[in-house]
Amino acid sequence: MKYVRRLEVDVIICLAFGKRETEVSLSNKFLIEKIVDLNQQTPLPLIIQKDCSDYFPNNIKITKVISDHAETEKYLDTREVLRQSINYCKENSLKKALIFAHPDHVPRIENDLKYFNFDYGIAYTKGCPYDSKSTQVWTRNRFFFMFRELIVRTYYRITY
């Protein structure tokens, strides 16, 4: 993992991790709090996946919300969130991103980032919880997530 110790970035990108029906998931709440704390010290452009953006405080300006796949009817997966985020960065001369994500999600994010020629660092998010009330079964606990990751990574190797 490529952690960034000092703030040497142009933009923050946050990938959601799970969701609940009517409130923010525990995982996303954790990520939001980390970003809000950092933003109070050093405001940066924010590219935030919708399941997190809906719960940001009103006084925090979000630069871009990633809410849908570019292709109709397709699931907004990690790679698509990154593709849209990095395209936005390149179009707006943002050269290095600080990625906020659940720690168990980071290996796939870094693997997906190999497809994009873009500089990044990973925010330290150790302690980010799973959420037993998530509507996405695979983000309820580590066992479910790791089992799904095995399937997803195998699928990606076959199709990409």
Model confidence over 40-93: pLDDT tens digits? 988 999 999 999 999 999 999 999 999 999 998 898 999 999 999 999 999 999
Asked if residue 1 is part of any domain, the answer here is: no
CATH number of 123's domain: 3.40.50
Domains contained in the chain, number:
1
* Of 5 and 134, the one with more pLDDT: 134
Q: Is pLDDT of 1 > 80?
A: no
Is 0.75 topped by the overall pTM? Answer: yes
The pLDDT value recorded for residue 92 is 98
Q: Is pLDDT of 153 > 90?
A: no
Asked if residue 152 is part of any domain, the answer here is: yes
Q: Where do the H-state alpha helices sit in 4-141?
A: 26-41, 50-53, 78-91, 106-113
Q: Average pLDDT over the chain, rounded to whole?
A: 93
Asked if residue 3 is part of any domain, the answer here is: no
pLDDT band of residue 152 (cuts 50, 70, 90) is confident
Q: Which domain holds residue 74?
A: 11-159
Asked if residue 63 is part of any domain, the answer here is: yes
Asked if residue 122 is part of any domain, the answer here is: yes
Asked if residue 5 is part of any domain, the answer here is: no
The pLDDT value recorded for residue 66 is 98
Asked if residue 41 is part of any domain, the answer here is: yes
Residue located via tokens 């970035």: 9
pLDDT tens, residue by residue, 98-124:
999 999 999 999 988 888 889 999 999
Spatial CB neighbours of 145, under 8 Å, sequence gap ≥ 6: 104, 105, 130, 138, 139
Q: Torsion angle of alpha carbons 148, 154, 155, 158, nearest 10°?
A: 180
Asked if residue 6 is part of any domain, the answer here is: no
